[in-house]
Amino acid sequence: MQPDTKRMDMTFSRAILFSLILAKASALTNSHIAVSSPDYCYDPYRWCGPKYWQATFQYCTSDFMESQSPVILNPFHMMRNRSMGPLELLAYDVLQSEPWIIKNIRDTIAVEFNPGMYLGGANLPRSYYTFYMAFHWGSETTNGSEHIYNDRRYPMEMQIFHLVPPYQTLNEAAFTERQAVAVLAVFVDIGPEDNPVFETISRAVPTIPLADLVSGAGLTLSSEQKAALQTSLVILQKNYKFHRVLFWGKILGIKGDYFIAQGLKDDEMRDKKTLYSFDCMDWDLLPPPTDEMIAEVNTAASGRFMGDPSHEYEHTETRRHGEGDEAVEEDIVVKVSEEKRLATTVFTIDQEVSVVPRGAYIKSPHGTVQTNRSFEGLSVGEAGKLSNYLHFSEPKCLRKPSILEMAESDPCRDFLDPLSEDIPKGSWSIQFERGSSVCVLRSLLWLGLSFYHIPGTPQHGFVYMGTGLKNLDLPFML
Ligand SMILES: *[C@@H]1O[C@H](CO)[C@@H](O)[C@H](O)[C@H]1NC(C)=O
Ligand SMILES: *[C@@H]1O[C@H](CO)[C@@H](O)[C@H](O)[C@H]1NC(C)=O
Ligand SMILES: *[C@@H]1O[C@H](CO)[C@@H](O)[C@H](O)[C@H]1NC(C)=O
């Protein structure tokens, strides 16, 4: 164990660092990469805890495996081995020319590096190339580090994975050879100010889960589109001074598809601006919908979207004035651009089917709707009930609550309409996916809208990928 703070301080101020070289395959494979089922946890007292991983997951067992995470470091039992040289981080401080890719791999966020950085020194048998980086973090009430130092878990742990060539995947390296993987773990504590070094990663976080869900919805984004979104949404946020920018979805057109993003300001429900793009790089603001615009669109626009914002829809209506023989017929032409239709469609989808879990948002005393920073997610039991999901739009209050419900309700919390009150009933499908780790809701009214929530975590989001046409047959399907 060899604290090597001087070098890393350049990169991660206020990060408490320990170089933690796990030369055996132990501890690596179970942590988050290979596991595709959620049936594991870090709680030492539960059946899903580290003690049982080897029994539950066959692939966590190998000839090299002697122990499991977490590594518990006790500074009173640790001594510096003076014959070990310092760790060498080669080219860690060189500005990389190619962008790194930040991905949601479900259990954590992974940053994929391009080749060019190496780990060596410290009597390591070989030189290791950086492969990828992942994070373990908790919530405001729990600390999330995987490993423990001096009886303490830290709020976050960053793990940089290194492999020896020619291995290209973690599993291949870990199961084929001893000492083919080296992990550098960094404990991160909470300081009084935001650390600008982490900004790029933390800013990308809100947009990642959506991109991940998209691939599950059948219609996918290409990796170029995802990479472009990750860069351009950050730029949008800066230029327009948004609090957050979320990828909203895609509306399919005949000649081209519209990618849609939304920038949020103080009130996340009402203060939003919608933007569209064809290439995920250049974005244009959509006009805010007005009643007049909505009426024009409803009259004139129909059929598939063209994929051309300047396309004009035209509708001619014949109106009769006067009575009997004196009646005059007049043709009234209503024209509307596809850009306005797009604005109206996104607005209508938001009004009718944007969803949040109960408790995820709070209404401040000033009436602004903001994220509930202490939201920890619905329990698995709660997540299966439609009544625990709310429309993220002005409540219509179709139903008056009973006196009993009024007594139990909290105006701060219960300011949105639950999906369970929707008419027609049955316009939502709700199911658990990926071994019940994700709860997915799909709208049958706006086919292509999927919402997901990971129970026990604050993560949720929705994405729309479809033709932008409402399913008017729904009442007949139910
Ligand atoms: C100290 O490090 C050297 C070089 O890696 C190693 O050979 C030696 O066994 C270590 N000493 C102890 C007490 O672990
Ligand atoms: C969690 O982290 C905080 C902030 O670093 C620390 O004060 C606290 O002791 C930690 N709690 C545990 C249980 O490790
Ligand atoms: C905020 O989240 C916490 C934890 O999930 C929950 O107990 C609380 O009721 C939420 N607050 C509101 C106002 O919904």
Q: What was the pLDDT predicted at 263?
A: 93
CA distance 185 to 198: 16
| Distances, alpha carbon 180 to alpha carbons 162, 167, 172, in Å | 8, 8, 9
Question: Which residue's C-alpha comes closest to atom 7 of ligand 2?
Answer: 154
Q: How far apart are the first and last CA of the chain?
A: 64
Give the largest Cα separation in the chain, rounded.
Answer: 110
Element (H, E) at 182: strand 181-188
pLDDT exceeding 70 applies to what percent of the chain?
77
Give me the long-range contacts of 58-67 (CB less than 8 A, separation at least 24).
59/29, 59/34, 59/171, 60/29, 60/30, 62/25, 62/29, 62/174, 62/175, 64/24, 64/25, 64/26, 64/174, 64/175, 64/178, 65/24, 65/25, 65/26, 66/24, 66/26, 67/26, 67/27
Q: Which residue, chain included where needed, has tokens 């550098």?
A: 184
How far does the centroid of ligand 3 lie from the alpha carbon of residue 206, in Å? 20
How far does the centroid of ligand 2 lie from the alpha carbon of residue 152, in Å? 6
Q: What was the pLDDT predicted at 66?
A: 65
Q: What was the pLDDT predicted at 258?
A: 96
Residue 172 has pLDDT above 90, yes or no: no
How far does the centroid of ligand 1 lie from the alpha carbon of residue 123, in Å? 9
Q: What was the pLDDT predicted at 400?
A: 56
Q: Name 353's Cβ contacts closer than 8 Å, sequence gap at least 6.
A: 391, 443, 445, 446, 449, 462
Q: What was the pLDDT predicted at 345?
A: 97
Q: Is the CB of 359 under 6 A from ligand 3?
A: yes
Q: Which atom of ligand 1 is nearest to the CA of 79?
A: 13
Q: Is the CB of 376 under 6 A from ligand 3?
A: yes
Q: pLDDT digits over 287-344, tens only? A: 999 999 999 999 999 999 999 999 999 998 888 877 777 888 888 899 999 999 999 9
Q: Is the CB of 281 under 6 A from ligand 3?
A: no
pLDDT exceeding 90 applies to what percent of the chain?
32
Q: What was the pLDDT predicted at 23?
A: 26
Q: Tokens standing for 456?
A: 């026990």
Q: For ligand 2, which residues put their CB under 6 angstroms from it?
A: 143, 152-153, 155, 189-190
Residue 3 has pLDDT above 50, yes or no: no
**Lowest model confidence (mean pLDDT) among 83-92, 204-213, 359-368:** 204-213
Domains of the chain and any CATH numbers: 5-193 (3.10.200.10), 291-342 (no CATH), 354-477 (no CATH)
Kindly indicate the confidence band of residue 353, based on its pLDDT and cuts at 50, 70 and 90. Answer: very high
Q: Which ligand is nearest to the CA of 190?
A: 2
Q: Which atom of ligand 3 is nearest to the CA of 372?
A: 1
How far does the centroid of ligand 3 lie from the alpha carbon of residue 413, in Å? 8
How far does the centroid of ligand 2 lie from the alpha carbon of residue 153, in Å? 6
Within 271-427, strands assigned E span 272-277, 284-285, 312-321, 328-337, 355-357, 361-363, 369-371, 389-391
- Please report, as a single letter, which amino acid is at residue 109: I
Q: Is the CB of 375 under 6 A from ligand 3?
A: yes
Q: Tokens standing for 267?
A: 């009130």
In contact, 259 and 236? CB cutoff 8 Å: no
Residue 26 has pLDDT above 60, yes or no: no
Summarize the confidence of residues 333-356 as an average pLDDT. Answer: 95
Q: pLDDT digits over 262-294, tens only? A: 999 989 888 899 999 999 999 999 999 999 999
Q: Is the peptide bond before 424 cis (omega within 30 degrees of 0)?
A: yes
**Lowest model confidence (mean pLDDT) among 110-119, 427-436, 445-454:** 427-436
Question: Which residue's C-alpha comes closest to atom 4 of ligand 1?
Answer: 84
Residue 367 has pLDDT above 50, yes or no: yes
**Lowest model confidence (mean pLDDT) among 4-13, 226-235, 412-421:** 4-13
How far does the centroid of ligand 1 lie from the alpha carbon of residue 84, in Å? 7
Q: Tokens standing for 128?
A: 């290791």
CA distance 52 to 54: 6
Transcribe 275-309 into DSSP letters: EEESSSSS-EEPPPP-HHHHHHHHHH--SSB-S-T
Q: Is the CB of 352 under 6 A from ligand 3?
A: no
Helix (H, G, I), strand (E, B) or coil at 121: strand
Q: Which atom of ligand 1 is nearest to the CA of 81?
A: 1
In contact, 56 and 39? CB cutoff 8 Å: yes
Residue 33 has pLDDT above 60, yes or no: no
Q: What was the pLDDT predicted at 160?
A: 95
How far does the centroid of ligand 3 lie from the alpha carbon of residue 372, in Å? 7
In contact, 390 and 418? CB cutoff 8 Å: yes
Nearest to 190 by CA among 233, 134, 152, 241: 152
